Amino acid sequence: MILPIYVYGQSVLRQDAEDITPDYPNLKQLVADMHETMDRADGVGLAAPQVGLPIRVVVVNLDCLSDDMPEFKGFRRTYINPHILEMGEEMVSMEEGCLSLPGIHESVKRPDKIHVTYLDEDMNAHDEWVEGYLARVMQHEFDHLDGTMFIDHLSSLRKQMIKGKLNNMLKGKARCAYKVKTVK
């Protein structure tokens, strides 16, 4: 089932999301719905707060980038209760967008690699260092679980430049091709 994507201004996007237990109700269905919702919106990642749930669940699909990055052929993952333990020291800039911030694309500086722990959809525990594009997507998505959006990383000048677009979202005007839930 396609879920509406919560847009900037929705308070759930600013909450600290909670770890879940394996018996979280209808988890398999939620994960399937999140993948379907992300795919329909042409996203590479989606965090549960973006569908209105303050829980630590993230889905990622990098297969759509595999023409340029063959290492991601068939790459589709679910991250349950992810936590970043350490970050690399080298910082890299890359343009980011977000399904909860339609129409905004800005360059964001982040560490090039991260040490993460998480459970996969079968509840197997993972503990690994991740780098490159996946580390970028993970940091963006896991930020959502701490109530952070990528615009929070921008300079005050860049924040000023996107203020109009943000105000429009607060007024319920979000121009995008997928189903959204705005505050108004």
**d(C-alpha 125, C-alpha 134), whole Å:** 18
Q: Which of 14, 183, 176 is nearest to 97 (CA)?
A: 176
Size of the site for Ni ion (CB under 5 A): 1
Is 53 a binding residue for Ni ion by CB under 5 A? The answer is: no
| Counts for the chain of helices (H) and strands (E), in that order | 4, 9
Query: Which C-beta is closer to Ni ion: that of 41 or that of 130?
Result: 41
Is 98 a binding residue for Ni ion by CB under 5 A? The answer is: yes
Query: Which C-beta is closer to Ni ion: that of 113 or that of 140?
Result: 140
Is 57 a binding residue for Ni ion by CB under 5 A? The answer is: no
Is 44 a binding residue for Ni ion by CB under 5 A? The answer is: no
Is 137 a binding residue for Ni ion by CB under 5 A? The answer is: no
**d(C-alpha 135, C-alpha 112), whole Å:** 7
Active site residue 128: no
Query: Which C-beta is closer to Ni ion: that of 62 or that of 98?
Result: 98
Q: Which of 1, 97, 9, 12 is nearest to 48 (CA)?
A: 12
Residues interacting with Ni ion, by CB under 5 A?
A: 98
Which residue numbers are catalytic? Answer: 141
